[in-house]
Amino acid sequence: MKITIARIRSNVKYNGPLDHVLDSFFENYVKWMKQNPQHEYDTYNVSFTNDRPKRTPESIDWADVIIIPSDSEFRYHGELQMNPKDLAKSEGHMETIRPYFENKKVIVLRSDRGDSEKLYRTETLKGVNLKSLDIIDEIDFSGNIHGCKFHYIQTLKNPIADMMGISKDTDFSYWGRMKHGNNREKTIKQIYRDKDISSMMIGGFPSGVKRQYKWINSWKELIPKIETSRSTLCFNWLDPYATTSRYVEALSVGIIPMVWNQYDVNNTYNIDDWQRVKTFEEFKDKILQLRDENLFKDKLEQYTNNYKKVLLSEDEYFSQFSNKMNKILI
């Protein structure tokens, strides 16, 4: 088959793990391409070399199958945070390539609950008659496909520093961007404004929250800024069954991930009841308890071991990814 991987919005120059939020998908896709030389491959707005990613509509037209790595497509459809000029520019590119999706097989590699099949059919590719549309979701894998990040982050850890111990002097850290709903903005504001809680904020936040750093893509830069923290807080969005990479990232760095209310209601992460909070007051009480060094160490070890019961090896994640890809392409 002729297969094109396409970033239909922002470009990706992928050179290895921990430089992009979708690195777990990209890394397994690269391995899958190498294992399947019987297919022909191309890219649109993606580069796997040092070359700059290029928008080449002919690559969409040429393909039988189009792979879309997707992490924030919903922001282009009614999301207030989207800059109107950026939206107009992106939609101009979509107008060019949308006709080339006609009668194509599309596979979405999804890492966001908002990027649904309905969104792609009724908004992103509206009016296009697709041959098929399949989604490989991050939560289709044991421990989430971003369990790969647990392994990736470990390769960046300094073994000498780990032996000596990292000084934990910050109660809370949060990295990433905000989504509306599920009391996320309200709770983050409460944490930030509370004088009893020390915090590190990195990324995009609601008004009234002053961040220490803007968005940091590279984990080599991010780890030193968050590893002195004792806790973070994980929210899901739109779907109580969903899990997120934040939980995995936190444990690998050495941070205790607390979870909000109905996060992962099926408990696929083996989350302990103590980690689950329903109010800001409950959250505050627990993270202040973590200032007890022995309590912190015991709980971090317990929660890490709990997650490792569902965490796969990198080879096992690739095997699951490969099986899903091959099944769709049959």
CB-CB contact of 65 with 1 (8 Å): yes
Residue 229 reports pLDDT greater than 60: yes
DSSP letter (8 states) at residue 213: B
Q: How much is the pLDDT for 108?
A: 98
Q: Pick from 70, 71, 73, 69: which is nearest to 29 by CA?
A: 69
Domain 147-308, CATH number (from 3.30.70.20, 3.20.20.70, 3.40.50.2000, 1.20.1300.10): 3.40.50.2000
Angle at 204 between CA 249 and CA 247, to 5 degrees: 20
CB atoms under 10 Å from CB of 263, counted, come to: 26
The confidence band for 170, taking pLDDT boundaries of 50, 70 and 90, is very high
CB-CB contact of 225 with 284 (8 Å): no
Q: Across all residues in the chain, what is the average pLDDT? A: 94
Q: Residue 240: CB partners within 8 Å, gap ≥ 6?
A: 262, 263, 264, 265
Query: Positive or negative, the Cα torsion across 273, 279, 281, 283?
Result: positive
CB-CB contact of 166 with 230 (8 Å): no
Q: How far apart are CA 178 and CA 171, in angstroms?
A: 20
Q: Residue 269: CB partners within 8 Å, gap ≥ 6?
A: 143, 144, 243, 247, 306, 307, 310
CA–centroid distance for 247 within its chain: 10
**182 phi-psi bin (left φ>0, alpha ψ -120 to 50, beta other):** left
Residue 259 reports pLDDT greater than 90: yes
Q: How much is the pLDDT for 84?
A: 86
CB-CB contact of 78 with 37 (8 Å): no
Q: How much is the pLDDT for 204?
A: 86
Q: How much is the pLDDT for 205?
A: 86
CB-CB contact of 65 with 329 (8 Å): yes
What global pTM score does this model have? 0.93
**For the residues 11-34, what does the mean pLDDT come to?**
95
Residue 91 reports pLDDT greater than 60: yes
DSSP letter (8 states) at residue 139: G
Q: What is the pLDDT of residues 101-113, one digit of tens each?
A: 999 999 999 999 8
Cross-strand bridge partners of residue 132: 105
Q: How much is the pLDDT for 159?
A: 59
Residue 198 reports pLDDT greater than 90: yes
**For the residues 71-77, what does the mean pLDDT come to?**
90
User: Strand 40-44 vs strand 2-6: parallel, antiparallel, or unpaired?
Assistant: parallel
Cross-strand bridge partners of residue 118: none
SS3 of residue 112 by DSSP = coil
Residue 158 reports pLDDT greater than 90: no
Q: How far apart are CA 124 and CA 118, in angstroms?
A: 9
Domain ranges of the chain: 2-141+314-329, 147-308
Length of the chain: 330
Asked if the domains 2-141+314-329 and 147-308 are classified in one and the same CATH topology, the answer is yes
Q: How far apart are CA 29 and CA 35, in angstroms?
A: 10
For residue 184 the two structure tokens come to 């996320």
The confidence band for 165, taking pLDDT boundaries of 50, 70 and 90, is confident
34-43, 150-159, 267-276: which has the minimum mean pLDDT? 150-159
Residue 160 reports pLDDT greater than 80: no
CATH architecture label of 2-141+314-329: 3-Layer(aba) Sandwich (3.40)
98-112, 141-155, 157-171: which has the minimum mean pLDDT? 157-171
The confidence band for 172, taking pLDDT boundaries of 50, 70 and 90, is very high
How crowded is the C-beta side of 324, counted as CA atoms within 13 Å? 22
% of residues, the chain, pLDDT over 70: 96
